[in-house]
Amino acid sequence: MSEKQDNQLSRREFLSGSTVAAGLAVAPGVFLTLTAQAKPADQAVSSDNRWGMLIDSNKCANGCTSCVSACEQENGWGSANPTENKSSPEQKAQWIRKVTLRDKETGHVQSLPLMCQHCEHPPCVDVCPTGASFKRADGIVLVDKHICIGCRYCMMACPYKARSFIHEDLQDQLPHAPRGKGTVESCTLCVHRVDRDSDKAVPACAEACNSEGHKAMVFGDLKDPDSEISRELKNYGGEQIRADLGLNTGIRYRGI
Amino acid sequence: MTRLYWFARNLPAGILILVTLALPLVVQGGGVPMPEVPKAQRHYSADSECVAPVAEMRKNHMEYILHQRDETMHRGIRTPQFALEECINCHVPENTEVRNQGGKEE
């Protein structure tokens, strides 16, 4: 069994590796001009981009939850939607959460925001029986609530506990973030902002972190070598949480 | 074979039950009250109520709903004309705000 899985993974890696090689060999210059332009509203997203985020946990302040509250306000969940009032705290929506880590030996405490990691090989997509959990061409992992049947397999499959289920009837949802009882939801990387203005768009969490002055979250295109996130990753590196799973997450961390 | 016989024997009783159930409908004369269509919050533009001419919407409404949601959700095409926001402006009743602010169910 394990041998079979190994074979599959290596084939996948081989295929993705060969496409990257072909892309580079054909025209590296074309890539640059494509990613430098904002996507017109009537054009589909493409795999020329891959959206990601770099989170520096050394810059992330203990006790600061401005990214979480910004996400709540932007997408209408948690404190921003008081109609979700019957669920227990464990059941309630949590698109992004602050996690505090404490090193037992040194006592060093650090905190970081944790949300959907927008994997290249998302386990939530693998297990979804209806195709509701999917990855867009530009790497953003989403739930299509029209197709979701609320089975919650994806919640069990996700190693990051990034998804939540809506247990009750809601009101006052926002037009760009429709939420409904019986479906699973998670961080969308503020896809409505990204689609509106792919050039300068920043998710609400990163925007809030910047305006707080922490500047712990850098959002950008991982496939554009000139983007801030690519340069930061190239120069100083970044880690994936549970890199051993081989999911190639779009959210990278530093200082963990 | 015995099952077929059983069905045939019970057929008159079945018809009788169906007629009894349908009797109220006949007596009422199918008088279902007209639905009260709520007023729109805001129209798409001053000269057009909906995002497309009425005739076109009547014919292609379901088509638009089905395809636009996939276009937006999966392919990231967000044109303002067929955005969900425009659907909501027109199709969500005027008094929704009042109900939510007051916290009372109507």
Residue A116: other Cβ atoms inside 10 A: 25
Which residues in chain A show pLDDT less than 70?
1-37
Convert the pLDDT of each residue in A136-174 to its tens digit.
999 999 999 999 999 999 999 999 999 999 999 998 889
Whole-number Å distance between alpha carbons of A156 and B10: 51
Direct distance between the N- and C-terminal alpha carbons of chain A, in angstroms, rounded to an integer: 33
Residue A213 tokens, joined: 């002055």
> At how many degrees (to 10) do helices A66-75 and A204-211 cross?
140
Where exactly are the structural domains of chain A? 48-254
Complex ipTM value: 0.75
Q: Could you read off the pLDDT of A237-255 as tens digits, one per residue?
A: 999 999 999 999 999 999 9
Cα separation, B9 vs A168, in Å, equals 49
For residue B71, give both structure tokens.
């276009």
Contacts of A47 in chain B (CB under 8 A): none
| Contact between chains at A171 and B75 (C-beta distance less than 8 A) | no
Q: Which amino acid is at A179?
A: R
Helix or strand or coil: residue A239? strand
CATH number of the domain located at residue range(s) A48-254 in this protein: 3.30.70.20
* Minimum CA–CA partner of B101 in chain A: A172
| CA dist., res. A91 & res. A84, Å (int) | 10
Q: Which of residues 77-96 of A touch B (CB under 8 A)?
A: 83
